[in-house]
Structure 1
């Protein structure tokens, strides 16, 4: 498994990030995320402020 390098961690944590999902029909959903934190070498914490559509898609896909 790949790890997040310190250089990539700096880029992730110091810049807005685009977070994208695609549902089973191929419809994309992209949001801008202002706060993202690397919490381990292979995990990223994304704030859940405006992830309504993303969460709805996850629920439908189960």
Structure 2
């Protein structure tokens, strides 16, 4: 999924998702200018970070 599709699916804002990607918390595949997030990765991210403040880099756990 793209960043926009992931934002629609999860309810997380696009800017917050971009910040999480830049922090290295969500692994992505970059094709040219497009950023792709796998569905299983975003699902795992949502599970392990349930209840966390996603804007606090120290609280967010990285998906491996």
Q: Which one has the bigger strand percentage?
A: 1
The verdict on a shared fold, with TM-score over 0.5 as the criterion, is no
* TM-score w.r.t. length of structure 1: 0.23
Which of the two has greater helix per residue?
2
Q: Which has the larger radius of gyration?
A: 1
> Taking structure 2 as the reference length, what is the TM-score of the superposition?
0.22
